[in-house]
Chain A
Amino acid sequence: MSKKDLGLLILILVVGAVVTAINHRFLLPINLANTSNLIGLFGILSIGQAFVIITGGIELSVGSVVALLGTLFIDFIAVRGLDWPLAFVLIIALGAIIGLVHGWLITRLKLQPFVVTLCGLLIYRGVARFYTGDGTAGFAFGQNFPELEFLTAGRSWGVPNSFIALIVIAIVMWVVLHRSVFGRYLYAIGKNEEAAKYSGIRTGRVVMAAYVICGVLTALSAIYFAMYTRSISPASHGQFYELYAIAAAVLGGFSLRGGEGSLIGVILGTVLLQELQNLVNLLGIPSSLNFAVMGGVILIGVLVDQQWGVFRARRLMVDAARKNVAGAAAE
């Protein structure tokens, strides 16, 4: 765990302690379970985003993809009567295809990630709304999918299964990002894509793979979100989720220029964001201020981190100078 991650963890614990001191309901099992469920849902999304950000890219269509794929998933199993495992596979495949198309447009046709995914944001939202005729996709009365509901919205030993899913995914993705050849390529490309290419790395494929991973994880979280809300109005479902994901990555120490950040960081970033949401609810802050609180905390966090870096660099220099003077005096 890096110092940055440790600092973030301490911040999470301090905020938690303060909230508990004001409102003891923060630590009630029901509150913790609810919050960790949300952490699971948003965490899966944010890991996907992190893989794209590490290459120096950005994925803005996440929220719309959550709406579109969530709508389709509910439509597949509730209206069209597909077996849920088949629908599950289809949705994941669709997520992969969306990622592949984005990656292809970005690496082969050299379009800017911001532009490609911004268009995606608009297109998928529009398609989702058109698909339901701007209505709401939901289950009919009495429709039940016991296994699916257990896996997505259920709990094991009191822990939401969505949170467990996040932990499993996080461990796998940690290995991929921090230990695998592919992960090293991602960092190298994020740091300097040209130099990576001149080292014989097939940079296009690696970047495309990052978008596919993002697409798959987004699709997975879309299913989780759909089963959590159980009814989707495509006009608003998933709105701003891309920003939650980007915020989690930035809080977790990712640089939007690429090449920097850790998996633990993005998870901690997600935890802090959800803790703040919870804080707004528990402390009776008007929920209309929700975004303002989040924005303020992120800004302060980034500022402190940056100033701390400046302070440390200066201290190192002063230390070195002092040592030099002492050494000269000793001679």
Chain B
Amino acid sequence: MNYSDTSIAASVTAPFLSLENVRKTYPGVVALDGFSMEVRPGEVIGLVGENGAGKSTLMKILGGVTTPDTGTITVDGTAHTGLTVEGSLGSGIAFVHQELNLFDNLDVAANIFFGREPLRAGPLKLVDRARLRTMVAPLLKRVGANFSADTPVAALSLAQQQMVEIAKALSIKARLVILDEPTSSLPLAETDKLLDVIKALKADGISVIFISHRLHEVERVADRVIVLRDGMLAGTLQKRDINHDQMVKLMIGRMLKEREKASEAARAPGAVALSAKAIRTPAYPSRPVDLDVRRGEILGLAGLVGSGRTELARVFFGIDGSLGGALERDGKPLVLGSAADAVAHGIFLVPEDRKLTGILLDLSIAQNISLPNLPAHARRSLVSASAEATTAEKQKSNLGIKAPSVQTRTGTLSGGNQQKVVLGKWLAMNPKVMILDEPTRGIDIGAKAEIYGLMRALADAGVAVLMISSDMEEVIGVSDRIAVMHEGQISGILDKEQFSQENVLLLAVGKQPK
């Protein structure tokens, strides 16, 4: 830490928020220990740390959801031992959560002023729609929204929905906006818009705490980075010291030798395992897609969110029917009526939304892993719990799933371990084609590296791996080839020597690579 920097800044502006020696314990865990930080007006703080480092606890304390055991929180000059939800809101702290809290059946204006609608005079207390609109317009302008106040939220993209959340924060005259993993589900172009909004907030003197696993974005936008590790402050980086390697070093307490194990030499491409011939997905019925996935390769599928990648994966996995064209597996025609058909052909999908479609949170690890292949774990169609446990134990040790036993409910596991359960259920079944949709979203760095290793091991074993990802570093670091989608079509395929962020981006927006 640089002492002189701090003191000069402090003499200019008093911090809006400061935490001193905050400690919070839960039964069995110390979530935060002797943690101190301060946020000055108009400052953008990057807050990073692996899952379980204490970020969520810190957020809960700032949001007034929980109170610290010891320590002081000073907001705008007033010291507290803990905040309440109302107190937090009242002093101008606003949250934009990773999972958005919008009503997608209502329009933008209704969402922003939900529960605080301007009312017309009279006994019926009807909503004054005209006034509502005039109140919303300047807020939307400030976040640079390109949509109107009466657009239904369901029609907005994720980034636009986040803008609505930020506008909502502005509407309560927020002085500190806390963004929790705002970009984790955003494609690149949309991320840029969001980062611009952050800069606009800063220009207005509003402080921002930006929590993200995407370190290059933190690098771009933060004035100062605070790194949490095991509930303690691992270090603070001033603007000029912020870079990827420093952050990672502080997060995990050591330097990673290489960022991702990039595959060494370009391999000899295997035979085509899965082939799409002029496939038309329901999302882009007029845009035929041609794509070959070869054995032994990791084919990265990049593109903006909404470019049709997930929809293509759904067709490959038999969830949606194709509106035209044909699929081939190992050169033979393939007709998929359901996911069950795809599974029967060795085509497996690790879906984008783990909790909704990847696993059953109420079932145990063993029950989740055996589910797609249950008849093989049964005798005379009666399920054998011991056969299930055997399969699950094997995957548990194989994948390093951290859980007390295979009978543990998957809902109690961390995101990384849940993802490993999803992988485990397919690995137990001898995959031929493995499709992974955003396989490392919301997963901490350690588990990410393990999942990359697994994908590589699968490819080395001759499996065709198709990885959909919006994380540029991941796509470039992990793939053998990169296919890029733009508005429902493959706009180009890059070979190893053409890999660069710029080329992927150019293709993603429909231009030619260099």
Q: Which A residues lie at the B interface, using CB under 8 A?
A: 175, 179-185, 187-188, 191-192, 194-202, 204, 259, 317, 320-321, 323-324
Contacts and interface: CB of A to CB of B under 8 A. Distances in A.
Nearest to A319: B27
A286 to B, nearest CB: 44
Interface stretch (B204-212, B233-241, B367-375, B399-407): B367-375
Interface string B17-28: 000000001011
A324 B28 contact: yes
B57 to A, nearest CB: 16
A201 B375 contact: no
A202 B382 contact: no
Question: Helix, strand, loop or mixed for chain A's interface?
Answer: helix
A323 B26 CA distance: 12
B356 interface: yes
A317 B342 CA distance: 44
A197 B339 contact: yes
B371 A259 contact: no
Interface stretch (B190-198, B260-268, B357-365): B357-365
Contacts of B351: 198
A323 B356 contact: no
Given A199-B368, A202-B340, 8 more contacts: A182-B381, A184-B374, A185-B374, A191-B361, A195-B356, A198-B349, A199-B343, A320-B27
Nearest to A182: B381
B357 A195 contact: yes
A195 B27 contact: no
Given A180-B382, A321-B27, A201 B356 contact: no
A198 B319 contact: yes
A201 to B, nearest CB: 7
A192 B361 contact: yes
Contacts of A192: 356, 360-362
A320 B28 contact: yes
Given A198-B357, A199-B372, A259 B339 contact: no
Most buried by B among A181, A196, A200: A200
Given A181-B383, A200-B342, A191 B357 contact: no
A200 B360 contact: no
B361 A200 contact: no
Nearest to A192: B360
Contacts of A321: 27
Given A195-B360, A199-B425, A200-B342, A180 B381 contact: yes
B339 A323 contact: no
B378 interface: yes
A181 B339 contact: no
A181 B368 CA distance: 13
Given A179-B383, A198-B319, A200-B339, A323 B27 contact: yes
